[in-house]
Amino acid sequence: MEVKCPVCNKQRNSSMKIARHIFGTGDKSHRGWVNSQGVSFTDLLIAQAMEAGNRGFTTLAEIIERVQETA
């Protein structure tokens, strides 16, 4: 299943990969979009850095899926 970046429309085959793309790009517009979803870009990034597992990125991946479904 192709998933699109809600900011720049980049396509990847999973929401996790789009979440990684959003953090990897990290510019003002991608950062702003994450923050507009009721979560903090920095907090999720730091969760990814500090916690075992992938909570930071999976949280964003779930948001991306939700947004894609409702689009």
Partner 1 sequence: MNNDKHTVVGKRIPNVDGYEKVTGSAKYTIDMVLPNMLHGKILRSPHPHARIVRIDTRRAEQLPGVKIVLTGKDTLGRKNGIWRSYRELCDEEILCRDKVRYVGDAVATLAATQEDIAEEALSLIDVEYEILPAVFNPLDAMKEGAPEIHDGCERNMNVYRQIEWGDVEEAFEDCDHIREDTFYCSSQAHACLETHCAIASFSHDRKLTLWTSSQSPYYTQVLLSDMLGLREGDIKVLKPHTGGGFGGKLSLDSAQYCTSLLSMKLMRPVKIVLSRAEEFAATKRRTPIHYQLKLGAKRDGTLLAKKVRAITEGGAYTALGGTALYLTGFFSSFPYKYPNFQYDGFRVYTNNEATSACRGFGAPQANFVSESQVDMMAEDLGIDPVEIRRKNGMTPHHEIPDQAVIQSCGLQQCLDAIKKYIRKRGELPPNHGIGVSAYGFMSGGIFNWIDTPYAFSAAMVKINVDGKVDLFTGATDVGQGSNTTLTMICAEELGVHLEDITLHVGDTSVCPVDLGAWGSRQTLMSGNAVKMAAAEAKRQLLEVACYYLKPNIVYDLNIKDHWIHFTERPYRRVSYFDVVKDAIRGKEGNPILGYGHYTPHGKGMVSPAYSFGVQAVEVKVDTETGQVDLVHITTAHECGKVINPIGLEGQVEGASIMAAGWTLTEDMQTRDGKIINDNFRDYKLLLAEDVPKMTLLEVDTYEPEGPYGAKEAGEGLTIPTGAAIANAIYNAVGVRIKDMPITPEKVLRALEKKAAEEKDSEQFVAAASA
Q: Is 33 one of the binding residues for partner 1 (CB under 8 A)?
A: no
Q: How far is the CB of 50 from Zn ion (least distance, A)?
A: 25
Q: Tokens 């979560």 map to which residue?
A: 39
Q: Assess contact for 23 and 39: CB atoms under 8 A.
A: no
Among residues 49, 69, 70, 71, the one that binds partner 1 under rule CB under 8 A: 49
Cβ-based nearer residue to Zn ion, 8 or 46: 8
Rounded CA-CA distance 47/50 in Å is 5
Among residues 1, 3, 5, 29, the one that binds Zn ion under rule CB under 5 A: 5
Q: Which residues contact 39 (CB under 8 A, 6 or more apart)?
A: 59, 60, 63
Q: How far is the CB of 70 from partner 1 (least distance, A)?
A: 26
